[in-house]
Amino acid sequence: MLSRLPTYLSLLSALTTAKIYYAGVNESGGEFGVYSSAGINGTGLPGRFGVDYQFINESTIDIFVSQGVNLFRVAFLLERMCPTAYGLGRKFNETYYTEFEMAINYITDVQGAYAILDPHNYMRWVVFVLAALWRGGRMTDVLG
């Protein structure tokens, strides 16, 4: 029986070999820059593209794709995408959206890879926790 163990292990490994369809990395940056120079959370918004935040570095995407990576998780910040001045979810900040769209298009259209759109803020809106909404509150109660 033990003499057949290498044969069984060989067969088992052949049966368990799987093709990897998606190999990915995280592209952080679009969710950064929420602190002011004084270190106060939420006061560094909206921030400056290329200074306080950036979505992707195209040459980095090129390197990853050349090494077989085909999936990128790209984070964005909800306060920038839907600023309180526009109301939560009513309207996008067109400048921020365009910058995000350009990054996603580079990954998907130019490189032919896949992108996961990753909203960040973990259920917080600037410095206000949205838990009040789940307790029956209204957005105006939370944001003032």
Higher pLDDT, 62 or 135: 62
Neighbours of 73 (CB within 10 A): 14
Residue 1 lies in a domain: no
Domain that holds residue 91: 20-143
55-82 tens-digit pLDDT: 888 999 999 999 999 999 998 888 788 8
Look at residue 120 and tell me if it is in a domain: yes
- 3-state class (DSSP) for residue 74: strand
Residue 43: per-residue pLDDT: 61
Angstrom distance (rounded) from CA 129 to CA 140: 13
How does residue 53 score in pLDDT terms, banded at 50, 70 and 90?
Answer: confident
pLDDT in tens, 1-22: 556 766 766 766 666 667 788 8
Using DSSP's 3-state secondary structure scheme, residue 33 falls into coil
134 has pLDDT over 60: no
What CATH number did the domain enclosing 80 receive? 3.20.20.80
State pLDDT tens for residues 18-36: 778 889 999 887 887 766 6
pTM of the model: 0.69
- 12 located within any domain: no
Query: At CA 73, angle to CA 68 and CA 74, rounded to 5?
Result: 125
Question: What is the number of domains present in the chain?
Answer: 1
Domain contains 28: yes
